Structure 1
Amino acid sequence: MGIWRRDIVEELKKQLWLAGPMMSVTLCQYGLQVISVMFVGHLGELALSGASMATSLAAVTGYNVLMGLSSALETFWGQSYGAEQHHMLGIHMQRAMFALLIVCIPIGIIWANMRHILLALHQDPIISREAGIYALYLIPSLPAYGLLQCHVKFLQSQNIVFPMVLTTAITSALDILFCWTLVLRTGLGKKGAAVANSISYWINVILLSLYVRFSSSCTKTWTGFSKEGLHNIPKFLRLAVPSALMVCLESCTFELMVLLSGLLPNPKLQTSVLSICLNTCGMFWAIPFGLGAAASIRISNELGAGHPKAARLAVNVTLLMATIEGILVFSLLILIRNLWGHAFSNAKEVVKYVASLMPLLASVAFLDSIQTTISGIARGCGWQKLGAFVNLGSYYLVGVPLAVVLAFVAHLKGKGLWSGIICALAVQVLCLLFIALRTNWEKEATKASERVNGIKFPVDITPGGASLQQN
């Protein structure tokens, strides 16, 4: 029992050492979008509605797609690093950067036509026009965001986290200055917020790329660009596409709620408040995402090294932390329910409506904490295809239909939309928990060795876990 307890404590320390900085990094990166919306919100309800709509659609059609595609790297890199194939991290990053930059082209075309897309979806013409202008000025942020995700996951897979904390903190501080200057001082208004967002993402990726290029910590993993980086791109895409689907099937549901809110009575109020709630969820989502990132690193490293017992222990510790974190976030949101709306708007009706939705929002945050963390486990194991099927069923067979019925048939409006999300999350959590708890970790370690090396290795199933030995 004493040895088992020491193993748990040691694993807890390892995950917290990784999760804490990753929470800060994710929160700061997501905060760039939230800061822009906050500044625009004080320009008026129409400006807030347009920027919120554009940010939501930009997330589902662009940012989340790029983040999802890059999530495949967590599997490749984590298992390659665990197997001590360090040079492959740089090769995988080159493949990812090339693929993501190509994907930015069609995404940019979509953003340039966002006004027409929203009108085709029967959104309010005035809000659609405002959203279209905002999205147009967000286009320069696309390649920066894609490259940034590659660099973050590159460093994350090597347990190099504090340089990311420093660079994202610097970027966030500068973003506030850029927004204040461009939104309030130059007269650019909402355009200035989008421009500030793009500048901040480019500063962040430049700082991280300089660290990767010149730091001694990356000399084994980054050896410069090579032609090998353009080989086997289909292999990368076979895991990257399911990774993107896994992320986007979920995020599309949240953004679909924003579009549905535009069809409710008083669309300006409904859209503004729902977007505020989504931004709030996104901010708190950074915490379980950090836990999931730590779990992905730990599990992929242990599987790549052939230590299934250690991988199972990492999963159990992760689930415990996710549950505790979810309870704390739920409690916090209930406590601040009457105050939170003031951070986004001065309108009393907006603040009051936000307060009425906070109990539902707290429930979403609790369930999202668990599912986001388990999704990190899935990325570490390479379960992206399975996760995509779970998300498809949870959201589009349960959540969305129920949300539509509750909002438009039962006339619960915004509360109905959020109730549908809660039901979808509950189904998703139960399915992912069942998969994680029923997994054969010895078999997963064998799969990891095949993925990294292309051949089978025996795995050590003793608690300590020895290194892989080739047949």
Structure 2
Amino acid sequence: MSDESEEQKLLPVERVEAFELEGPSKIKGWTEFHVRSMEEAKEMWEIAAPAILTSVAQFSIGFITTAYIGPLGQVELAAVSIVQNVLEGFVFGAMLGMGSAVETLSGQAVGAGDYQTLGIHLQRSFIITFITALFLTPLYLFTSPLLKIIHQDEIISEAAGNYAIWVIPQLFAYAFNFPIQKFLQAQSKVWVMSVISVVVVGFHTFLNWLLVFRYGLIGAAIAGNISWWIIVFAQMIYIVSGFFPESWTGLSFSALTSLFEFLKISLASALMLCLETWYPSIVIILVGWLPKANVAVDAISICANMEFWTLMITYGFSAAVSVRVSNELGAGNHRAAKLAVGVTLVTSTLVGIMFAAVTVATKDEFPKMFTSESAVIKETAKLGYFLAVAILINSIQPVLHGVAVGAGWQTQVGWINAVCYYLIGLPAGGLLGFKFQLGLQGIWFGVLSGLLLQTLVLLLMLLRTNWSDEVSHAEERIQLWTQPYQH
């Protein structure tokens, strides 16, 4: 066989490495780098686009519920908002984190061509997340007394407690949904997941119209329960219907083995993500202690909503880079993993710059989409530059988290989050906001300092990474988890 035909058979990443070894002309080397970067960008978008669509669609389920509840009255709206933003915000980080062990292990297994373990990892994750949901259930059962303990309005607390009990089925839907998502993402099978989510959003709108005005909060809870379980069942039917002959071979008792080791990885992921997702909630509590707290809380809530919508985009990039890094490390392609990080980071940062620029340009206008109160509009406009900086940082930081999950660095990043957010960011915000009387702007400046420090530390960690060593770590992890299935 000729040398030319051998070269044509090489994968793109192998061809790049061949050029580096053979030392061709500089122009030809850059041409190959450009070609591979474009190919990597295409692969990244094939995962990121449906991941973004899925995130937006599933977030819209809660958004639609709130929109239908609003006309019922302020008490009902406040009750649903508390459950969604406080209770489910707390639960979201825990459940997503506990389900993320599948992301690291399955992603690297796919890269190594070891598909037989994916179904076992999924079933293990089901067990772990289901037990986690059982432990979290008392939070739903005792929502009302817990809210009263922290001096929330009694009528709102009662309404929120009643609604929380009715949405317990959604908690268990999360327990199955997150592992399923990671299982599908690891294999880059994400478009079906997006289509299911979009279709369910349309159906959820109809359910709310049918149930909310007739049954109130209970009708909203039932609509949410039905919609979330349709998503879970539809995705599971897709998995077991023969589309994954290698990675899903049915239920297995092997899923009951090595649960403790799997739990340790799950807990590390949960620690990393919980410290991340709880941070904004604690900031809102800090703001609530300021003088004229109503205006301050409304202003920070508007900014949080704007920030969250932009995070929908960057979370798609986070999912994409996690899959690409884990796949390439599992396949032993350290240069391809490094390239995936670079391409995704540059793309997400450019998107962040665009969103930040739009935020600054419209800082006096975007608050009007949320409120007509002049005091709130004015206070929110003052935060426009802070919001733009937060959006820019949040275009980088989720990608770094995605790299951490793909490479299996959850424990290290969890500690970094704890120090930067809770030992530096929040105390700095408290000092600036209260001790130095800088108010809302002081609190957010301190919080941003923690976020910026965390991002810089993760970037430094990334720059110092030896990707060849990460391939070795991935090989060790794959061997460890495939031992029980080797005959």
TM-score, structure 1 as length reference: 0.89
User: 1:271 and 1:49 mapped to 2: Cα distance?
Assistant: 14
1:463 corresponding residue in structure 2: none
1:364 corresponding residue in structure 2: 390
Mark the CA change 1:376 to 1:324 in structure 2 (over 3 Å): closer, same or farther: same
Percent identity over the alignment is: 34
Letter in 2 for 1:234: F
Mark the CA change 1:51 to 1:362 in structure 2 (over 3 Å): closer, same or farther: farther
* Alignment partner of 1:251 is 2:277: yes
User: 2:124 and 2:54 mapped to 1: Cα distance?
Assistant: 23
2:470 corresponding residue in structure 1: 444
Q: CA deviation at 1:121?
A: 3.0
* Alignment partner of 1:430 is 2:456: yes
Letter in 1 for 2:65: S
Q: CA deviation at 1:267?
A: 4.9
* Alignment partner of 1:33 is 2:73: no
Larger displacement relative to structure 2 (1-10 or 78-87): 1-10
Larger displacement relative to structure 2 (307-316 or 106-115): 106-115
2:80 corresponding residue in structure 1: 51
* Alignment partner of 1:313 is 2:339: yes
1:260 corresponding residue in structure 2: 286
User: 2:258 and 2:72 mapped to 1: Cα distance?
Assistant: 49
* Equivalent in 224, 236, 248 of residue 209 of structure 1: 236
User: 1:176 and 1:351 mapped to 2: Cα distance?
Assistant: 30
1:398 corresponding residue in structure 2: 424
> Is the Cα–Cα contact under 8 Å of residues 97 and 266 in structure 2 kept in the other structure?
yes
> Is the Cα–Cα contact under 8 Å of residues 334 and 471 in structure 2 kept in the other structure?
yes
1:312-461 alignment, distance < 5 Å: 312-338=338-364, 340-341=366-367, 344=370, 350=376, 353-454=379-480
2:22 corresponding residue in structure 1: none
User: 1:413 and 1:179 mapped to 2: Cα distance?
Assistant: 40
User: 1:147 and 1:429 mapped to 2: Cα distance?
Assistant: 31
* Alignment partner of 1:78 is 2:104: no
User: 2:467 and 2:174 mapped to 1: Cα distance?
Assistant: 34
1:217-228 alignment, distance < 5 Å: 217-228=243-254
User: 1:180 and 1:340 mapped to 2: Cα distance?
Assistant: 28
Q: Deviations over 1:376-404 (max 9, x none)?
A: 00000000001101100111011111222
Q: CA deviation at 1:123?
A: 3.9
User: 2:297 and 2:75 mapped to 1: Cα distance?
Assistant: 10
Mark the CA change 1:420 to 1:180 in structure 2 (over 3 Å): closer, same or farther: farther
Q: CA deviation at 1:438?
A: 0.9
1:196 corresponding residue in structure 2: 223
RMSD: 2.4
Describe the SS at the equivalent of 1:454.
helix
Q: Deviations over 1:390-442 (max 9, x none)?
A: 10011101111122223333444443443333112101110110111110000
Q: CA deviation at 1:133?
A: 3.4
Q: Deviations over 1:152-171 (max 9, x none)?
A: 11111111111011001011
> Is the Cα–Cα contact under 8 Å of residues 34 and 279 in structure 1 kept in the other structure?
no
TM-score, structure 2 as length reference: 0.86
Larger displacement relative to structure 2 (425-434 or 130-139): 130-139
Q: Which runs of 5+ in 1 are unaligned?
A: 457-471
User: 1:428 and 1:341 mapped to 2: Cα distance?
Assistant: 28
User: 2:378 and 2:219 mapped to 1: Cα distance?
Assistant: 29
Larger displacement relative to structure 2 (64-73 or 33-42): 33-42
Aligned residue pairs total: 453
Mark the CA change 1:153 to 1:350 in structure 2 (over 3 Å): closer, same or farther: same
Mark the CA change 1:442 to 1:365 in structure 2 (over 3 Å): closer, same or farther: same
Letter in 2 for 1:202: W
Larger displacement relative to structure 2 (273-282 or 105-114): 273-282
User: 1:358 and 1:180 mapped to 2: Cα distance?
Assistant: 36
User: 1:409 and 1:182 mapped to 2: Cα distance?
Assistant: 49
Mark the CA change 1:249 to 1:284 in structure 2 (over 3 Å): closer, same or farther: same
Q: Which runs of 5+ in 2 are unaligned?
A: 1-29, 483-487
Q: Deviations over 1:150-199 (max 9, x none)?
A: 1111111111111011001011222222333333x2150x4443433222
* Alignment partner of 1:235 is 2:264: no
Describe the SS at the equivalent of 1:140.
helix
2:190 corresponding residue in structure 1: 161
* Alignment partner of 1:147 is 2:176: yes
Larger displacement relative to structure 2 (27-36 or 336-345): 336-345
Q: CA deviation at 1:356?
A: 4.3
User: 2:479 and 2:397 mapped to 1: Cα distance?
Assistant: 30
User: 1:194 and 1:354 mapped to 2: Cα distance?
Assistant: 32
* Equivalent in 164, 172, 180 of residue 209 of structure 2: 180
Q: CA deviation at 1:125?
A: 4.2
Larger displacement relative to structure 2 (237-246 or 167-176): 167-176
User: 1:326 and 1:90 mapped to 2: Cα distance?
Assistant: 36
Larger displacement relative to structure 2 (92-101 or 327-336): 327-336
Letter in 2 for 1:208: Q
Describe the SS at the equivalent of 1:222.
coil
